[in-house]
Amino acid sequence: MSPDRSGPVVELRVWGVDRVLPALGRMAVGPRAVRRLPGLRFAKLLGTGSARTFTPRDADPRHWALLTVWEDAAAAAAGADARPLRSWRDASHEELRVTMTPLSSRGLWSGVEPFGPGPFQAPHDGRGDDPDAGSAAPVASITRARLRPTRAPSFWRAVPPVVADLTGTPGLRLALGVGEAPIGLQGTFSLWDSTEALTRFAHGSAAHRAAVRRTEPARWYAEELFARLAVRDVVGTYEGRTP
């Protein structure tokens, strides 16, 4: 990531672990320690899963994630060596780190706008001299929702067709379920080759369009967030490969 790119730095780290119980312990005590890190705007320790059904069947106890939003690149670099992050790294057999900057965000996460109120400044408009800029550059999508308990069964029934379309979409590098809890607090992280690939899924998938149309009348969510981010760097592996 170039040092001259200003604005908040968003990082998603995913750790692969062999021992589940110590990971659960770090999940219990880690949030408070992480929140004390200098230059940190927002942080969530998250469980991960396959995002096939958004039920506990998806849960992957061997992979855990941390989403952080830093004031700037200097704070992110300092935070990488902080003890809470080192404890995960030292206990993991692999780590994936995706570094991003926000492009757009709508909604709330735990009552706040995690990436700031905007407007967001795109790193480049695609017409400059940056070879990785523009609509052909990789992008990420983050969604998060707090389900209404009485509406959850209807939501779960709507998920499988969307996931079937998602997994077959060209340009998808990685899709994960993420959330603070296996039921009710759920979301997705997806990594794409380009804005075109993400848009192709969002507007080209009949199942996804149908689910979006149903969101408001079905009242699935008590709280929701949709964000799109420019991907600046991808380092490390998830399940043995770099997406």
SS3 content of the chain, % helix, strand, coil (to 5): 30, 40, 30
- Is the pLDDT at 142 greater than 70? The verdict is yes
Could you give the domains of the chain? 9-235 (3.30.70.100)
The token duo for 19 is 């021992």
Of 61, 42, 48, 35, the residue nearest 187 (C-alpha):
48
Q: In what helix (H) or strand (E) does residue 203 lie, and over which residues does it extend?
A: helix 195-204
What pLDDT, on the 0 to 100 scale, is given for residue 126?
44
pLDDT digits (tens, 9 = 90+) for 46-85: 999 987 766 677 889 999 999 999 999 999 999 999 999 9
Q: Which residue has the higher pLDDT, 221 or 104?
A: 104
- E strand segments, 108-184: 139-147, 172-179
pTM confidence score:
0.85
123 confidence band (pLDDT: 50, 70, 90): low
Instruction: Report the alpha-carbon distance of residue 159 to residue 109 in Å, rounded.
Output: 21
What pLDDT, on the 0 to 100 scale, is given for residue 122?
66
